[in-house]
Structure 1
Amino acid sequence: MRKIIFILFLLSCVVKAQQTYSVDTSYTVKSTYNKLIKKYPSITIPLIEKHKELNKITDVVYYNENGRALHLDAFIYDTRKRNPAVIIIHGGGWRSGNKNQMNAFAEEIADKGYSCFTIEYRLSLEAKYPYGIYDVKNAIKFIKDNAKKFKVDPDKIAVLGCSSGGQMAALIGTTNENPAFDDPLNESKSSSKVNAIINVDGVLAFRHPESSEGEMASFWLGGTYEEKTENWKNASALNHTDKNTPPTLFINSSIDRFHAGRDDMIKILNQNKIYNEVHTIENSPHSFWFFQPWFDQTVLYTTNFLNKIFK
């Protein structure tokens, strides 16, 4: 009996060691559906067909820091050639959400001839900015390190994010080759550089006339604008946009505050003759990408852009 109790004690210690952080589960596809269905009674959660051409590998550990393992799911189009890759970052106000809620989207994109990856990253209850950025850049390095296994062309990498994930995707893409945004503990020799940005309703500037970011941003950034001014500036992709920014696609809802900084970023891209597209889905709510009829539109805009850039 004592032996059994001792074993149970050891197991409980292992569990505690594996997860010693809080998890906010408030942002899910189901909770968002329940919130939107009254105003948009015709919306449906998309049914995803089984794609025979796809290989799926779930919960791959891409990085481990002090016993904290971070995972990704891979959806790989089965071909003899290496595919362009799409790194997909979920939303949730930097605090909630998980990689699984983007898997349906990843499957649909992958079926068009891509290797897609949905990424787990540390949220604000566990780690503040810039650790979530480090995590996604670490995932990009891991995918490049294992490019053959994942059938990835390491010179054709797009980063895509929705909502707060869109903000992160834009920041990751505009800080290519900037060592200040790479994890100093990661010893991989691969670059975290990406070759295209897809921003789905993510802000480009935290402090901007169009922006109304407040409590959620403050929590992730470690304080208010007055308390953490440098974080608010450095986390804004607009402040890093220049001649080296890769081609960029913006897909937006009809809610203006989620476009903050977009038009200013487009001006810089145009000045530097960098290809960009904008698609605003009329009469759509934030989180439109989860539901029909907007899901198919989002997939179409994304794949058309990717085909133009990579194929």
Structure 2
Amino acid sequence: MLDQEFIETKLPAGTEYISDVVFKEVDGLELKLDLLLPKNETKRQLPTAIWIHGGAWMRGNKARDLHRFDQLTSRILQEGMAFVSIEYRLSSQASFPEPVLDCTDAIAFLNRNREKFGLDTDRTVILGTSAGGHLASLIGTSLTVGGKDFVTDASRPMGTILGVVDFYGPTDLIMLQSKRGEIDFENDASPEARFLGHSPLKRPDLARAASPVNYVSKDSPPFLIFHGDLDSRVPMMQSIYLNSMLEVNGVESRLVQVDGARHGDEKFDETVYNDMAIEFIRSLIH
């Protein structure tokens, strides 16, 4: 939950905060989302930005990233967009594909409740950092090729995803695993192994199914990708690969190399990168 001081000092005046909305109950667990709604005197339906938090699929929450990326959150609200931060089951609670299903269930929930919250879910942009960038990219690419494996109920409309903003997310889990050198497949404790429930190189079928690059098609939405050239946790080759796959399929994509940035570096908060993100989002929703 966001604290009142953050809402009053970091967000535009008049922002409405609707916290802890339950969008799903599973295994006795309530999954929730937070909505930030800009001042909307005309009562028009608002294009929607959906944020998926990072944390190696094993930690983090729906409020943490908003504190970190407060400038970007604020500027998206200033664009007249609703901002929604969702939670999903972490790898200690469920393994692939369940966390992906949690995210798509949140998207379906928002679409079903678009009138209640005043959302235009046919103008949706998904954003995420690290593991959240992976989930955003996976959803953005898979839904456009009929990725029913990641949808609980195919009869429930999802709205329309116009674009994805991916901050240094993994895109190929087998390639990600290869950076580790010697691996104990039976006792693999890497974040990607915990997410999959198996070492990627022991279950390459699962790793492939969980990798956004394998769903890229000519129908994928436009992407804006940020990655640091000093990232050792998720090497920049992950984003280079995704960007190349998008381009070869004729999809609008831009990869921004953030010089001197490590994984999760504060450099990503700089105004120049916020400007790029806002320009990209603005081009999609207007």
TM-score of the aligned structures, taking structure 1 as reference length: 0.77
Shift of 1:224: 1.0
Structure 2's unaligned 5+ residue stretches are 1-7, 181-187
- C-alpha contact (below 8 Å) 1:202/1:259 kept by paired residues: no
- Structure 1 residue 285 corresponds to structure 2 residue 246: no
Structure 1 distance, partners of 2:65, 2:148, is 28
Structure 2: which amino acid aligns with 1:85?
Answer: T
Shift of 1:188: 6.4
Pairing 1:146-157 to 2, within 5 Å after superposition: 146-157=113-124
Structure 2: which amino acid aligns with 1:92?
Answer: G
Question: What is the match of residue 165 of structure 1?
Answer: 132
Structure 2 distance, partners of 1:268, 1:93, is 23
- C-alpha contact (below 8 Å) 1:211/1:258 kept by paired residues: no
CA-to-aligned-CA distance 1:234-290 (integer Å, 9 cap, x gap): 1110011111110001011223543333233323322333211222221122112xx
Structure 2: which amino acid aligns with 1:179?
Answer: K
Question: What is the match of residue 217 of structure 1?
Answer: 192
- Structure 1 residue 138 corresponds to structure 2 residue 129: no
- The partner residue of 1:199 within 166, 169, 174 is 166
Pairing 1:101-116 to 2, within 5 Å after superposition: 101-104=64-67, 105=69, 106-116=73-83
Structure 1 distance, partners of 2:260, 2:139, is 29
Question: CA 1:66/1:203 → structure 2, altered by over 3 Å: closer, same or farther?
Answer: closer
Shift of 1:144: 0.8
**What RMSD, in angstroms, separates the aligned Cα atoms of the two structures?**
2.4
Question: What is the match of residue 252 of structure 1?
Answer: 227
Structure 2 distance, partners of 1:278, 1:193, is 23
Structure 1: which amino acid aligns with 2:118?
Answer: K
- C-alpha contact (below 8 Å) 1:269/1:276 kept by paired residues: yes
- Structure 1 residue 68 corresponds to structure 2 residue 29: yes
Question: What is the match of residue 124 of structure 1?
Answer: 91
Structure 1: which amino acid aligns with 2:147?
Answer: N
- The partner residue of 2:17 within 56, 69, 75 is 56
Question: CA 1:211/1:147 → structure 2, altered by over 3 Å: closer, same or farther?
Answer: farther
Structure 2: which amino acid aligns with 1:261?
Answer: Q
Shift of 1:187: 7.8
- C-alpha contact (below 8 Å) 2:258/2:268 kept by paired residues: no
Shift of 1:192: 6.2
Pairing 1:17-96 to 2, within 5 Å after superposition: 48-79=9-40, 80=42, 81-96=44-59
- C-alpha contact (below 8 Å) 1:76/1:116 kept by paired residues: yes
Question: CA 1:207/1:226 → structure 2, altered by over 3 Å: closer, same or farther?
Answer: closer
Structure 1: which amino acid aligns with 2:26?
Answer: E
- C-alpha contact (below 8 Å) 1:211/1:260 kept by paired residues: no
Structure 2 distance, partners of 1:285, 1:190, is 38
Shift of 1:50: 4.1
Question: What is the match of residue 205 of structure 2?
Answer: 230
Structure 1 distance, partners of 2:37, 2:205, is 39
Q: Which range moved further: 87-96 or 291-300?
A: 291-300
Q: Which range moved further: 275-284 or 259-268?
A: 259-268
- C-alpha contact (below 8 Å) 1:51/1:111 kept by paired residues: yes
Question: What is the match of residue 185 of structure 2?
Answer: none
Question: CA 1:145/1:287 → structure 2, altered by over 3 Å: closer, same or farther?
Answer: same
- The partner residue of 2:61 within 80, 83, 98 is 98
Q: Identity across aligned pairs (percent)?
A: 25
Structure 1's unaligned 5+ residue stretches are 1-46
- C-alpha contact (below 8 Å) 1:210/1:261 kept by paired residues: no
CA-to-aligned-CA distance 1:212-239 (integer Å, 9 cap, x gap): 3671111111111233221111111001
Specify the SS of the correspondent of 1:97: coil
Structure 1 distance, partners of 2:75, 2:19, is 16
Question: CA 1:306/1:254 → structure 2, altered by over 3 Å: closer, same or farther?
Answer: same
- C-alpha contact (below 8 Å) 2:261/2:267 kept by paired residues: no
Specify the SS of the correspondent of 1:255: coil
